[in-house]
Structure formats: structure tokens, C-alpha cells
Chains A and B, each alone.
Chain A
Amino acid sequence: MTTHANPQADESAWPLLPEERTWGAARLTLTLATTAAATWCYLIGESVAGYLGFIKGGLALGAGCMIGMVLVLLAAGPTCVRFGIDSIASTKPQFGSRGWVVPAALQAVSIIGWNSLLIIFFAKSAVQLSVALGILDLGSRNAALVPVLTVLACTIIFMVLRRGATGVSLVSNILVAHVFIGLWMLYLLVSRRWPELIAAQPANASPNHLWNYTTGIELGIGATLSWWPYIGAMIRMAPNGRTIVLPVMLGMAAPVPLLSLIGLAGSLVLKSSDPTEWLRIVGGPAYAIVSLTFVTAANFGTTTAGIYASAIGLRNFATLQKRTWTTLLLITIAPVALVGMFIPELFFAKFGNFLALIGVAFAPLCGIQIVDYFVLRRGRIDVRAIYADAPGRPYHFWRGINPAAMTALAVGCFTYIAFLNPLSYDSAAPYPYLTASLPSATAAALAYLLGSLLVIRAGRGGYARP
């Protein structure tokens, strides 16, 4: 039986054919850089500024981001890039032909939650930009524009994504300029306030210097581990592993710490991570307009990529496989639009904590995938079994669920919270020496390895018998 390249293949969760995987390193780098650079960079920088100065903070964050990214790449990368599938489909060999709904739920909540936050940021920035440009007057009624702009942004994203991954790439080609604007903003602050920047002391630093340094690393690792839900949908468009490594490590991991330096520097010197505020102080209203343009463009690009990745993830649900791409996009965008319309302020105030808790699951998820692919299966993945759910199929395990993966995920999450409470930052004694993400990934990997020995003994999971 033969099949031909399908122009709509990038709108399904099915494996892509080699001839459909046409993104080269440059296109992938642009897309990943645009996806990675968003308002969260300031928030990450602001968090680090609580514990570390500019040099130490920048280096710890940079190192953490690169470590987190390599974990994500090793976890989802091999299966996604070999078979042209997304992050969610890549979890079926570990979680089972029905258990994958757990990572899918994590992905949906994480992406939709983050995208709701970013799109509200986008709307607020657009209102501020309009005021700065004189299009709008200052006034309380401007707050009412946030829901309107949220819906407008969602409509534009919907129109763009009707072209599938091509739409994501198109937006990235246009919006990637904002990464350079961000670097220019950083240059401005560093060049004009260098002595203050070097002398600035972090506000919440612990007396334990190692604890502060480790927290900077941990924030970097956590930031890039959150890319796990996004990465599969992007790298599956590239033809092989060789094409993805440098774009992922340089296009996705590097911009985050670089742009986070904006928030780090702003927080240390001007006590504000929001460049819109401090660029007005440093360079006047014209600079503030440039900054607002940056924020608007950055969040729009990231949300476009996020909605795309989430829609592809939802495609794995049998009931959504036959729905049109338009319907799937509407299902994915609707929660974002509804949050922006009805509860933007409440969501802003409360949902960040929930996202912090959800984030602890990505380190164990990576640990499980890495040990399964490289140690237990030694690269042997049955692509047919990923899509076939029936008793006796390799990834059916027990009723479609692999208890070893579920247990390991729980062990990993528990380990993380035992090492570091992501909300209060209370930590256990070994945390300064080990971080929280790395022990969490290791504990999950070990628990999965041990549990899988029983699974293999029971003849489940499609593993090669020793």
C-alpha cells in the first residue's frame, strides 16, 4: 500500500511521512525562538533577581536552561523525530494506549493556562501601546478593552492556524524580530546602568549562598522543562535528529536566559521586571512604545505555537481524530478566549500558582521517557502500537495503562515537592546540592526502571525479553 504527502498532515497527530517533514534547521530555529521568547522571560528574570545578582543570576539561569532543555530533548526528541509524531503520542510507549491521557491533561492545562496568561498580557500591552501612541485616552474604560482584544487576538490566531504548522512558521518569520528588540532593550539597560547593575543586591536572598545559586539554576531548569508540551509538534516537522539539536539548544534554550536578563536587570536596578515601565524611565516614551511592541509581538507568537501544539495533542483523542481542523482549533482556543473575556483579573491573580504546581510533573515525565527509550527499549519503538489500542497490543499494558509509569510520575512529583515547595520555596537540606528537578527526574526514572522489571516479567509493554 502506498500513500502520498498530504498538505493537511501537520493538522493531525498521525506520523508524518519523510516528504512532509520539510523544516530545515533555520526554519525550526526561527519558530522555536519565537515560541520561547515571551513575557514569561521577565517573570523568570524577576524570580531570579530575588536571590542572585546580575552576573551570578545570568550564569545560573543560562546553565539551568541548557540543562533543562537537554533533558526535554532526550525525553521527547528521539521518538518524535524518528516517527514525525508529537510529544503526547511519544508518551504512549511509557504510559500506555490509554494512560497517555495523563500527560495529555498536563499538556492541555499547562499550555491553555499559560496561553491564557500570555494572551491577557498581550491584550493589556496592546491597550497600553494604544494609549502611548495616542490612539486611546487614559481611563478606566480601557480595562474593558482587554476582553475585546483577547477575543480579537484569538480570532487572528485561529485564522493563522487554519494553515497548520505553516501558519506557526509564517508568524515566526514575521515576529522573530522581537527577539532582537529584546536584546537591544537589554543592551540599553546594561550599557546605561552598568555600575548600579553590578552593585545591586537581590531582595530576598538567603544567607546560604549555595541555596541562592541553586535556586537560580532550578528556575532555569524548570523554565525549559515547561517546553516539553510544545517541542514535539515543532521538531516533528524536521527530517531527522541531526536537524533538531542545534535549533533546540540555541533557538529555544538560549533566548530564554538572554531575554530573562531583561527582567533580571530591571528588577535589580529599577525594581520592576516590566520593560515597558523601565524603558520609559531609561529612554522616554518612544522606548516604551518599542517595548510594548515587543511584548505584544512576543506573546502573540508564543500563543500561536502553543495553541497549535495543544490542538495536535488533542488530536490523539479518538473522538477528536475525525473532527475538522477548524473544530479542533475552536475547542483549543475557546478556553483561552473565555478566560480572557470573563475572568482575566481573577485568572491573573490565582492561576500562576496552579501552573507552578503543574510544572513539577515535567521533570519526572522526562526521566520516565529517557529511561524507557534509552535503557529499557534501547530505541526500539513500535510506531503501529502507538496508534492501536486493544488487549494484547504492546502498549496496552493493563487496560491501556502502565502502572509503572503512573507510580513513577507520582514518585517524581512527590520527590520534587519534598525537595522544594514550588509555591513557598521551602526546601529540604539536600536541595542546595542537587536542585529539585534533577532528583525528581532521577527518582521517577529509577521508580520506572524498577516497576518496569515487573512489567517485563509479566510480558507486557512490548519490551524485548532479557
Chain B
Amino acid sequence: MTDPAQGDTLSQAAALPPQLEARIAAVENAAPTSDFDASSWFWMMLLGVAVPLILLAVGWWA
């Protein structure tokens, strides 16, 4: 059980400015934004892993 005094402190300290509160609520209620989809992962792995490995191999044997 939460100590009532601690609960008051929590609610006061955690109170967000109304505009921020509205903004966060809007972001929470919006359709979830994806981080990376399959296509993003493909390009990341290609450009961030595969291409560097090829460049390194070519450079080493050049």
C-alpha cells in the first residue's frame, strides 16, 4: 500500500504541464508508430553490416 503522504508528493511532482499532458495523451492515443519495419532492417543490415564487410575485405586484399 502506498503511503498517503508519498502519494501526494508523487502526484504533485509528477503533474505535467497541461500542454505536455495533452501532447503525451495524443501520442499515446495515436496509432503506434513503428520503429523499424522489415524493409528498414534490410537496408540497415545491408548498409551497416554487409557493405562494410565487403569494403573491408576488398580493402584488405587491395
Which residue numbers of B lie inside 8 Å of A, CB to CB? 2, 6, 9-10, 12-14, 16-17, 19-28, 30-37, 39-40, 43-44, 47-49, 51-53, 55-56, 58-60, 62
A71 to B52 Cα, complex, angstroms? 13
The contact of A241 among B30, B37, B49, by CB within 8 Å, is: B37
Taking CB atoms, residues of chain B closer than 8 Å to A321 are 17
Taking CB atoms, residues of chain A closer than 8 Å to B49 are 67, 70
Taking CB atoms, residues of chain A closer than 8 Å to B60 are 56, 213
A-B contact pairs, 21 of them (CB 8 A): A3-B19, A3-B25, A17-B27, A58-B59, A59-B56, A59-B58, A63-B53, A63-B56, A63-B59, A66-B51, A66-B55, A69-B48, A81-B33, A241-B34, A249-B43, A383-B24, A383-B28, A387-B20, A389-B13, A390-B14, A391-B6
Task: Give me the 10 closest cross-chain CB pairs, A-B, nearest first.
Answer: A70-B48, A59-B59, A390-B13, A78-B35, A63-B52, A390-B14, A3-B22, A63-B55, A249-B47, A241-B36
Q: How far is the CB of A144 from chain B (nearest CB, A)?
A: 46
Q: How far is the CB of A366 from chain B (nearest CB, A)?
A: 12
**Cβ–Cβ contact B37 & A242, under 8 A:** yes
Closest partner residue, chain A, to B20 (CB atom)? A14
Closest partner residue, chain B, to A82 (CB atom)? B33
Known pairs A63-B56, A240-B33, A245-B43; A83 contacts B27 (CB<8 A): yes
Closest partner residue, chain A, to B56 (CB atom)? A63
Taking CB atoms, residues of chain B closer than 8 Å to A82 are 32-35
Taking CB atoms, residues of chain A closer than 8 Å to B14 are 388-390, 393
Main SS at interface, chain B: helix
Q: How far is the CB of B12 from chain A (nearest CB, A)?
A: 8
**Cβ–Cβ contact B21 & A1, under 8 A:** yes
A178 to B28 Cα, complex, angstroms? 41
Taking CB atoms, residues of chain A closer than 8 Å to B39 are 242
A217 at the interface (CB under 8 A from B): yes
**Cβ–Cβ contact A245 & B40, under 8 A:** yes
**Cβ–Cβ contact A73 & B35, under 8 A:** no
**Cβ–Cβ contact A213 & B24, under 8 A:** no
A103 to B30 Cα, complex, angstroms? 29
**Cβ–Cβ contact A59 & B35, under 8 A:** no
